[in-house]
Amino acid sequence: MMNTGGSGGSDKKIPPAPPGWNKTTDDLFQEAISGLRKQIGPPETEWAINYERSLLPLDVRFPRKGDVYEALEDIEVNYMTRWAAPFTGGGKAILKKGERIRVEHDPYYPQPIGTSLVPVDYSALEERMVPKEDREAAKYGGFALSVKTLDLNRKFKLVDL
């Protein structure tokens, strides 16, 4: 889900957001879940990402490939399961204080509002977070965590570059 950076991977011109736009990507997802919205996509997603980026402090550090972060507290994170099939899955899990995660790839977008990371102790966290039936499925291809950039700056410490 995450590598949400917006306005960096597409050549399409996105129209400016309407005056007073203040919806986040989470707001858009909640509208879809509640039935207020049939689909989520551009230009609204780009507007939401740009709005969220505008709320970040000026001194925020954006994640980079190879960064290793250590959780400063127990924190709920989203995880995504990867499949050799045209779908993905996932859920929520707790990353415990002291556990470490690593940015495996350069974020797709510059200045992402969040990114995908993998646990340093991959096997142990995979066993704890991903249901056994998913891990044992023939088309299961692993998992990754999704963490917002602001959380990386506030709830984690950067321990290795």
The answer on pLDDT for 6 being more than 60 is no
Q: Region 78-92: what's the mean pLDDT?
A: 89
pLDDT of res. 155: 98
Q: Which percentage of the chain shows pLDDT scores above 90?
A: 83
Mean of all residue pLDDT scores within the chain: 91
Pair 125, 94: CB distance under 8 Å: no
The answer on pLDDT for 9 being more than 50 is no
What's the pLDDT tens digit per position in 23-74?
A: 999 999 999 999 999 999 999 999 999 999 999 999 999 999 999 999 999 9
CA angle 33, 108, 28 (to 5 degrees): 15
User: 3-state SS string over 118-131?
Assistant: EECCHHHHHHHHCC
Between 11 and 130, name the one with better pLDDT: 130
